[in-house]
Amino acid sequence: MNKIILVFLIILSGIKPVSALFLDVNIYHNFKVKAIDFSPTSGKYTLEADERIIRDFHKGISINISPLRDSVLLQINHYNVGLYKEVSLYGRGFINSFSLSSKKDSLPLRFYDDNLKIRVIDGRLQLLNNVDLEHYVAGVVQAEVGGSSKDIQFFYVQAVSCRTYALVNYLKHTVDGYNLCDQVHCQYYLGKSINSDIIRAVARTSGEVIIDSTGRMISAAFHSNCGGETVNSEDVWTNSTSYLKSRIDTFCTSMSKAKWEVTIAKDDFLTILYQAFDFPLEDSISVDSALHFTQEHRKVFFIHSIPLKRIRQEFGFRSTFFSIESKNDSLHIKGRGFGHGVGLCQQGAIKMAELGINYHDIIKYYYKDTHIIHYSELKYNFMP
């Protein structure tokens, strides 16, 4: 009888009864972790080492973890538990979370959902948060955009795009023994979300992903502000797609990151052009064109077919969408936007959400000819 009621509630709620997906995310990726303290903050945990169950424990117990040669040394209350090749801490309660900190390495205190796997790589600890996909998405949304909006429609947008990106890049670090890292190379992730609106948005959109006209999940690229016009994917990354296409965006132009300005000494600018790109300084026409460069609409190349993405990288500009004014011995750079400009413009999406536009329509606005479905409806197997 209880099973019948459960199935009925699932049908009414629209929730699909599919198995949870777990990812292995390399956390503290940019740190050389020599010691870490693990403490449960909720639930019950089982300590497994070299495929043997060592013990169960609850909140209030702290485990010190450190490398010793090529093995993991475990200590509880300063007493050695043992030396192992691989260690796992699995949550066995209803809701499981834990904290990680290290006074020795001055690591930032962080909180995570679900499970932790530990091994030693090159003399330091490799920490893998074995985390439910939806918990991971909530953490990514908080790390990426947590304080930028109070509108839940925008969190819907970001949750769906982050989930899609995670599943498309599920095998990105397979050769390293995990799925994703916690840096922008994959998606920025600092652990458990504590923002109730973000958690609600992830739950509301649970399992939803973006597909293109062929039914495959898209590479859901996003950036902070496009400055009024997004960019074709092939103009930045060479790969052309049907959905990452340039479009005029009037929603972001009044937002905080829509404009930027910098001043550079003329001689410094020309010197860098010469050193980085072998720019012909003896050609007065080329020099004059470089010093009076303008963009009404986004361009792909600077003078002499130098890719604007290379100019941005060399000078540290916020975007490739800029114009140059020459004033005496200085150059005044007036730019628009923040980021690579491909795909979803976050501040544009925030503005659209504030105007009451539905998250489905926001996603379709930035990703051409796309649709949203539950990943269980995909016609192909995206996991090994």
Radius of gyration of the chain (CA): 25
Q: Which residues contact 154 (CB under 8 A, 6 or more apart)?
A: 145, 349, 350, 353, 359, 362
Q: What does the alpha-carbon distance between residue 24 and residue 84 come to, in Å, rounded to a whole number? A: 20
In Å, how far are 206, 352, 373, 381 from 376, measured between CA atoms? 11, 29, 8, 9
Contact 49, 74 (CB under 8 A): yes
Looking at residue 158, its amino acid is: Q
Structure tokens at 235: 């103009």
The predicted-structure confidence for 183-199, as pLDDT tens digits, reads as follows: 988 999 999 999 999 99
Per-domain residue ranges of the chain: 19-168, 259-336
DSSP 59-70: TT--EEEEEETT
Confidence of residue 15 (pLDDT cuts 50, 70, 90): very low
Tokens in use for 256?
């905080």
CB 28 within 8 A of CB 101: no
| Architecture field, domain 19-168 | Sandwich (2.60)
Task: For residues 366-384, give the mean pLDDT.
Answer: 93
Tens digit of pLDDT for each residue in 78-126? 889 999 999 999 999 999 999 999 977 788 999 999 999 999 999 999 9
Distances (CA, A) of 216 to 38, 56, 186, 202: 39, 42, 20, 21
Q: Of the ranges 52-61, 108-117, 146-155, 237-246, which one carries the lowest mean pLDDT score?
A: 146-155
Please report the pLDDT score of residue 64 as a whole number.
Answer: 94
DSSP letter (8 states) at residue 216: P
Strand partners, 39: 99
Mean pLDDT of the chain: 92
Distance (Å, whole) CA 329 – CA 244: 40
- Give the residue-averaged pLDDT of 28-49: 95
Query: Looking at residue 18, what is its pLDDT?
Result: 61
Question: What percentage of residues in the chain have a pLDDT greater than 70?
Answer: 95
Contact 24, 130 (CB under 8 A): yes
Mean pLDDT of 144-150: 77
Indicate the pTM of the whole model.
0.89
Report how far residue 115's alpha carbon sits from residue 128's, in angstroms, rounded to the nearest whole number: 8
How far is 25 from 189, CA to CA, in rounded Å? 9
> Apex CA 101: angle with CA 96 and CA 107, to 5°?
135
Q: Cα–Cα distance between 199 and 255 in angstroms, integer?
A: 25
Which tens digit of pLDDT belongs to each residue from 298-342? 999 999 999 999 999 999 999 999 999 999 999 999 999 999 999
Q: CA 327 to CA 227: how far, in whole Å?
A: 24
Q: What is the pLDDT of residue 9?
A: 40
Q: How many angstroms separate the CA atoms of 322 and 300, rounded?
A: 11
